[in-house]
Amino acid sequence: MARPKALVDMSQHYCPGCTHGIIHRLIAEAIDTLDIQDRTIGVASVGCSVFTYKYFDCDMQQAAHGRAPSAATGIKRVHPDTLVFTYQGDGDLAAIGTAEMLHAAIRGENITIIFVNNAIYGMTGGQMAPTTLVGQVTQTSPYGRQIETQGYPMKVSETLATIEGAAYIERVSVDSVKHIKAAKKAVEKAFRYQMEGKGFSLVELLSTCPTNWGLSPIEATDWLRENMLPHYPLGVYKDKGGEQA
């Protein structure tokens, strides 16, 4: 077990115990496994993962907040033989970028979205996200998220599964070794499907934000298990390739 080739050999800026780093590794391992490092183009978004473009050893583009799926659409259409993925947080994807994400799926764009759901805006200091859980305390929901005024947490994978253009949608988690192993398979499958021309794929990864959750990294993985897993059940929500098989 060594550092994947598709990851630059440098220290990343993420907070101690932040699971963004695990997700980076899984993506790089999938690129290595499929042997497509020279044909991969990633699109970084806005959020804590904004520097993603420095960390992957492949071509990278940085998109405006929420617009990564649109940038990826253009890149993929000009370079159809490449693997094009976006790396987006829940603030980026499920708030300001909802339209772009949804319409990329509706159009059935042959791209892969790596969606990191940590139930909060990390980079800007812990404000409520569309994915924040009911009752969860954040900077902008100091009494906990209230359904009456702030509505329900958005379930991205379930929503996208209803869209005809989506080929593969799975929700995984990186809170434990077992879940990380399953997450690795999901990322690899999404990339493989894209290379096979199967169409739009999204892998939602439940992730921690120890800093803005106000918890230690170990407490944060426990919090994810106890609070996020019941509301965001893991599993395959759509698998067009699987249906055909």
Q: Which residues bind another protein (CB under 8 A)?
A: 1-3, 7, 11-12, 14-22, 25, 176-178, 180-181, 210, 216-218, 221
Residue 28's closest CA among 62, 1, 67?
A: 1
Span interacting with ligand SF4, options 67-75, 153-161, 206-214, 229-237, rule CB under 6 A: 206-214
Interface with ligand SF4, residue 209, by CB under 6 A: yes
Span interacting with ligand SF4, options 13-21, 34-42, 51-59, 96-104, rule CB under 6 A: 13-21
Contacts of 39 (CB under 8 A, 6+ apart): 81, 82, 83
> Residue 124 binds which one of another protein, ligand SF4, ligand TPP, none, with CB within 5 to 8 A depending on kind?
ligand TPP
Q: What CA–CA distance (Å, rounded) separates 216 from 61?
A: 33
Question: What's the maximum distance between 2 C-alpha atoms anywhere in the chain?
Answer: 50
When the beta carbons of 4 and 47 are compared against ligand TPP, the nearer one is: 47
| DSSP H/E element including 192 | helix 177-195
Interface with ligand SF4, residue 24, by CB under 6 A: no
Span interacting with ligand SF4, options 117-125, 135-143, 163-171, 223-231, rule CB under 6 A: 117-125
Question: How far apart, in Å, are the Cα atoms of 187 and each of 75, 87, 114, 142, 211?
Answer: 20, 12, 8, 35, 26
Residue spans of beta strands (DSSP E) within 107-219 = 112-117, 166-173, 200-206
Give, as ranges, the residues between 212 and 231 that touch ligand SF4 (CB under 6 A). Answer: 212
Footprint of ligand SF4 (CB under 6 A): 14-15, 18, 20, 48, 118, 122-123, 209-212
